[in-house]
């Protein structure tokens, strides 16, 4: 049986596998989560942090460098 430290070490891989249903579920991992509320909280918080950060980043993705870049491309082409 996995211990809590091992669960936290594999937490990201678990979230990635959970996102891709064709990957096999890790039964040992799931069994541990059923029995351990601290690890369940760790997984929930790791998931929330990554979703939150992705949302924050998505609002910062856009730049205004297009005009400048296009001008350079036209000079070089």
Least distance from another protein to the Cβ atom of residue 32, Å: 11
Least distance from another protein to the Cβ atom of residue 27, Å: 19
63 binds another protein (CB under 8 A): yes
Q: How far apart are CA 3 and CA 27, in angstroms?
A: 14
The 17-56 site mask, x for binding another protein (CB under 8 A), equals --xx-----------------xx-xx-xxx-xxxxxxxxx
DSSP-assigned letters across all residues of the chain: ---HHHHHHTHHHHHHHHH-TTSPP-HHHHHHHHH-HHHHHHHHHHHHHHHHHHHHHHTT---S-HHHHHHHHHHH-
9 binds another protein (CB under 8 A): yes
Are the C-beta atoms of 11 and 42 separated by less than 8 Å?
yes
Residues in the site for another protein, rule: CB under 8 A? 3-6, 8-9, 11-13, 15-16, 19-20, 38-39, 41-42, 44-46, 48-58, 60-67, 69-70, 72-73, 76-77
């Amino acid at each position: 049986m996995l211990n809590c430290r091992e669960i936290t070490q594999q937490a990201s891989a678990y979230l990635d596998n959970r996102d891709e249903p064709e990957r096999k579920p890790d039964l040992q991992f799931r069994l541990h989560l059923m029995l351990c509320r601290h690890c369940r909280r760790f997984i929930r918080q790791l998931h929330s942090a990554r979703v939150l950060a992705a949302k924050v980043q998505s609002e910062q993705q856009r730049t205004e460098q297009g005009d400048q870049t296009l001008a350079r491309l036209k000079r070089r082409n």
